[in-house]
Amino acid sequence: MRKESLVQPDPQSWLSQFQFSIPIKVRYCETDLLGHVNNVSYFMYFEQGRIEYFENLGLTEELFSEERVSVVADLECQYLAQIFLRDPLKLHIRVARLGRSSMDIEYALVANDQLKAAGRGAIVLIDTKSGKSTPIPDAAREVISSYENLVE
């Protein structure tokens, strides 16, 4: 069974929704014997991008503290084209949806003006004492909603 593409309606339209991006330098240890980026490396790139996205918005204290942490609830990657060691990568990150205690994040890996991979995942805010989900603080919700032009 083939899974529906995350990239809707088309790559250019989908990419135009992203406002934040970071460069990614592929390291030799992230490749296989043929020089392809190993499939697990994509998930490390997503994590790096997600952290830098929240740092850029000034939300690390809101989402990562002694009282609460953000944990990955699910994560997927759709591999669209090969990435090689010397490819100049750019990772685009955006929050696509805000829930009560979770958010859906989308990722786009681009090299040489071509979309190479698309990803998505949900993170959930967890209260460190109870181990249960906790609401996203209003201040963080406002910053993300404003930055992403989300309608709640």
**What is the value of pTM for the model shown?**
0.94
Domains, in order of start, for the chain: 11-147 (3.10.129.10)
Cα diameter, the chain: 48
Task: Give the pLDDT score at 1.
Answer: 63
Closest C-alpha among 68, 149, 137 to residue 100: 137
The C-alpha atoms of residue 120 and residue 104 are separated, in whole angstroms, by: 7
Candidates 3, 20, 21; CA nearest to 89 is 21
Could you tell me the end-to-end alpha-carbon distance of the chain, in angstroms, rounded to an integer? 33
Residues in the chain: 152
Strand (E) or helix (H) holding 111: strand 102-111
Please list the pLDDT of the chain residue by residue as tens digits (152 residues): 677 889 999 999 999 999 999 999 999 999 999 999 999 999 999 999 999 999 999 999 889 889 999 999 999 999 999 999 999 999 999 999 999 999 999 999 999 999 999 999 999 999 999 999 999 999 999 999 999 999 86
